[in-house]
Structure 1
C-alpha cells in the first residue's frame, strides 16, 4: 500500500469565497455548495447552517485531480505558511516566461496578489518563479 494526498486543506476566513477562487484557478466548476442530501443529513445530526458553511471544497469530481478543502479558521495567523503550493498552467511542458506572466495576470484578475518574481539558477537550470498570495494571503508560487 502507498499513501496519496486526499485533500489540500486551507484554513479560511471565508471558505466559500476561497473555494470559488481556487476553483477558477484550477479550471474546476464553480462550487455550488454541498449536496442537498448531505446537507439534510448534517442538519439532522444537529448542525446549523452556519456550521455547515464553515467548510467548502474546490474539485471537479475527477479522482485524478486534486481536491482542495477549506475550513473556517477564526484565529489570527501568527506566522507565514510553512508549506505552499507550486502551480503551473500546463501539465505536459514547462511554461515560458511570457506564459507565466499571462497566467499571473489571470490569477490577479481572480483576486490573487503578486509578491515578487524570483529569477535564479539551480546549477545549470534557470528558475523563473512568481511568488503570489490567494485572496486570504495563503502563499503559492507560479512556475
Structure 2
C-alpha cells in the first residue's frame, strides 16, 4: 500500500467564497453546501450551523481529480506559503506562454492576483510560470 493525496487543504477566512474561486479555477461545479442527509448527521452529532459553514470544498466528484478542502481559519497569516499548488490548463502537454496568459486573465477575472512572472532555464527547457494568489492571498503557480 502507498499513500496518495486525499485533499489539498486550505485555511480560509471565508471557506465558501474561496471554494467558489477554486471551483471556477479548476472547472468544478460550484459548492452550494453539504448534502441534507450529511447536514442532519452533523447536527445530530452536536455541530451547529456555524460549525458546518466553517468548511467547504471544490471538487467535481471524480476520484481521479484533486479535491480542495477549505476550513475556516481566522488568524492572520504571518509568512509566505512553504508549499503551493501548481495548476495548468492542459493535462496532456505544456501550455504555451500565450495560453498561460489567457488562463492568467481568466483567473484574475475570478479574483486571483498576479504576484510575478518567472522565466528560468532548466537544462534545455525554458520554465515559464506565473506566480499568483487566490482571493485570500494563498500562493499558487500557473504553468
TM-score, structure 1 length as denominator? Answer: 0.98
| Residues in 1 aligned to 2:77 and 2:128: alpha-carbon distance in whole angstroms | 29
Structure 1 position 134, deviation (Å): 0.2
Structure 1 position 124, deviation (Å): 1.6
Give the superposed CA RMSD: 0.6
Q: How many residues align?
A: 143
Question: Which stretches in structure 1 are left out of the alignment for 5+ residues?
Answer: none
Partner of 1:97: 97
Partner of 2:127: 127
The 5 Å alignment of 1:1-143 reads 1-143=1-143
Question: Which stretches in structure 2 are left out of the alignment for 5+ residues?
Answer: none
**Consecutive aligned runs of 4 or more in structure 1 exceeding 2 Å deviation:** none
Provide, for residues 29-63 of structure 1, a one-character-per-residue CA deviation record: whole Å limited to 9, x for no partner.
11111010010111111111111000000000000
| Residues in 1 aligned to 2:79 and 2:120: alpha-carbon distance in whole angstroms | 26
| Residues in 1 aligned to 2:14 and 2:90: alpha-carbon distance in whole angstroms | 28
Structure 1 position 74, deviation (Å): 1.4
| Residues in 2 aligned to 1:84 and 1:45: alpha-carbon distance in whole angstroms | 34
| Residues in 2 aligned to 1:54 and 1:69: alpha-carbon distance in whole angstroms | 11
